[in-house]
Structure 1
Amino acid sequence: MSSPRLVPRSLEGKYAVVTGFSRGIGAAIARTLATKGANVHGVYTSDSSTKAALELADELRGDHGVKIAVTQADLAEGESAAAKVAADFKEFSSLAGKAPQLDILINNAGIGGNHRLGEVPVADFHRQYAVNVLAPILVTQALMEWLPHDRSGRIVNISSVSSSIGFATQTVYGGTKAALESMTRTWARELAERATVNAVNPGPVEGDMYFAAGEAFWKEMDPFQQACPLSAVRPGIDDPTLVKLATAKMGGRRPGYWREVAAVVGMLCGADSAWTTGSVICASGGLKFQT
């Protein structure tokens, strides 16, 4: 009997940088890319995330046989943090004995903060814009010299439906994500011979922040969730704990799973996405229809 055919992984040998690597959507994206064969350089912020980042790195090496490196850098610190990421990536991606090449960049790291108009703190405005807007610019600028010159590069910026829905209390956060989407379109033109550039805009997703938000937030979200075609929980398919909570307190609707967002990002990182650039791709279950 002949041996089974080995099918190459679609991102085999590619080098990727993922910011916000240690948890949530960032960790799910790193898993998706590693599953497809990419070597991943993860960037995380704080000491409290070191253990999670190192454990994820070990998991990806062991499960997928890819190269993984991690860098701790507080992207709120601006140019110095971006320079550290670039220096570490150069060392990581040069280990194969060839010049560094950045095939995939995922600008995922972001922070939030909700304030009604009239109560917006100036300090929080600068904090959110520093991480959600300025940091992607600086990180991309620091790494762009290693983008390929054959249009095979892929940049994906993680936005949010908050950029266009107009949720109450998100003057600042929604504004940062709208800025990121505008930057995406500009970069798609400027980097046309180097890389495609797209954004992905999740809606509410699973995680400690979502579940800690409580019933007041869930009730505010209810009209949006009820109109979201794919959010109805399915007993026997969805997580049983989430089904119970959603049925009792969320109108029978669930947030997105990290892996669902990561899968959309993964699609945009492959060769088959070559004709998609400057776009905002919805990964919200239909919470927001993009036209």
Structure 2
Amino acid sequence: MARPLEGKLAIVTGGSRGIGAAIAENLAKKGANVVLNYTSASSSPLASQLAERLQTDHSIRALPVQADIGTSSGASTLVEATKSAFSKDDGKLQIDILINNAGIAKNAFLKDVQIADFDETYRVNVLGPLLITQAVEQYLPTDRSGRIVNLSSVSSSTGFVSQSVYGGSKAAIEAMTRTWARELADRATVNAVNPGPVEGPMYKTNSPEFLAGIKGWIMHTPLMKARPGVDSDEVVADAEESGGRNAYTPEIAGIVGMLCSEDAGWCTGQVVCANGGMLMMH
């Protein structure tokens, strides 16, 4: 089976679980070596187990690295660990793919927004991608074959209640995507994807009020209709209450992986649908 990313090197932030782990799997399956970045010590076992499995299943090299990329020292730690593990015999390093996936969400109505939550969200969701992209820039290819994909969200465009901070942080990611697409045009394409609801623990933390507020969106999203006999009985039953099924993490990863391919070389500065049609812009 063809492995279109054979021998390339990818960094995936927030790569120990959820969408990040699915993206790492997608890239590894296509032959890429992967660096799995994670922040908290509690994620260390997950990252190590995932790295071992990817190496065994896909015959690639996988390196878990704990680093808080929302700090300048964290970004440096991640790149230095990557250099130590993947530099060639002549000491040179090329980072072909960067996936800015790590993110947090802290919903609150306008009157309840706390400065500390704002600062933390923007530090992780906006400053983190900025710092790691700065740190990686000098190691990108020089022939436009590099790929940077930023994880945004439909929340940047939908105005969901209680998401002043989260939605704003994702709008910032999309703005930076367009700027980087111009500034890094000789090195890499830079695109974003914008998932809607995705399976996993992060989405389950949303309040009943928030879930009720987006039910209408979900009901009118073409690909979120649950399919008996295809989706699990649990997913189908939940969809009756929520209006439809959440995306599966491999579905998001597949779109990210597509943007990392050679065939995506004429696409840059774009926010690409990864939400089943929840958001259709004219």
- When the two structures are superposed, what TM-score results if normalisation uses the length of structure 1? 0.94
CA contact (8 A) 2:161 2:210 kept: no
User: How far apart are the structure 1 equivalents of 2:254 and 2:162?
Assistant: 29
1:32 is matched with 26
1:3 is matched with none
Is 2:45 the partner of 1:51?
A: yes
**1:95 Cα offset (Å):** 5.1
**1:97 Cα offset (Å):** 5.7
CA contact (8 A) 1:83 1:142 kept: yes
Is 2:259 the partner of 1:265?
A: no
**1:115 Cα offset (Å):** 1.1
1:4 is matched with none
Is 2:229 the partner of 1:233?
A: no
Is 2:162 the partner of 1:165?
A: no
Q: How does 1:119-198 map to 2 (within 5 A)?
A: 119-198=112-191
1:250 is matched with 242
Identity of aligned residues (%): 53
User: How far apart are the structure 2 equivalents of 1:52 and 1:150?
Assistant: 35
User: How far apart are the structure 1 equivalents of 2:43 and 2:152?
Assistant: 22
Question: How far does the alpha carbon of each residue in 1:40-63 deviate from its partner, in whole angstroms, 9 at most, with x for none?
Answer: 011001011011100100110000
User: How far apart are the structure 1 equivalents of 2:202 and 2:15?
Assistant: 17
Is 2:221 the partner of 1:211?
A: no
Which stretches of structure 1, 4 residues or longer, exceed 2 Å deviation after superposition?
95-98, 209-218
| 3-state SS of 1:160 partner | coil
**1:241 Cα offset (Å):** 1.4
Amino acid at match of 2:242: M
Amino acid at match of 2:104: I
User: How far apart are the structure 2 equivalents of 1:260 and 1:109?
Assistant: 17
User: How far apart are the structure 1 equivalents of 2:221 and 2:89?
Assistant: 46
Q: Give 2:79's match in structure 1, choosing from 61, 79, 86.
A: 86
Gaps of 5+ in 2: none
**1:236 Cα offset (Å):** 1.1
CA contact (8 A) 1:29 1:262 kept: yes
CA contact (8 A) 2:16 2:50 kept: yes
Question: How far does the alpha carbon of each residue in 1:28-75 deviate from its partner, in whole angstroms, 9 at most, with x for none?
Answer: 000000000000011001011011100100110000000111110122
Count of residues paired in the alignment: 282
**1:96 Cα offset (Å):** 6.2
User: How far apart are the structure 2 equivalents of 1:47 and 1:240?
Assistant: 35
- When the two structures are superposed, what TM-score results if normalisation uses the length of structure 2? 0.97
CA contact (8 A) 1:104 1:155 kept: yes
| 3-state SS of 2:269 partner | coil
Q: Give 2:6's match in structure 1, choosing from 3, 12, 35.
A: 12
| 3-state SS of 2:64 partner | strand
**1:240 Cα offset (Å):** 2.2
User: How far apart are the structure 1 equivalents of 2:255 and 2:221?
Assistant: 17
Distance 1:113 1:212, change over 3 A: closer
User: How far apart are the structure 2 equivalents of 1:211 and 1:63?
Assistant: 30
CA contact (8 A) 1:281 1:290 kept: no
Is 2:271 the partner of 1:280?
A: yes
Gaps of 5+ in 1: 1-6
Amino acid at match of 2:136: L
User: How far apart are the structure 2 equivalents of 1:254 and 1:164?
Assistant: 21
User: How far apart are the structure 2 equivalents of 1:214 and 1:137?
Assistant: 30
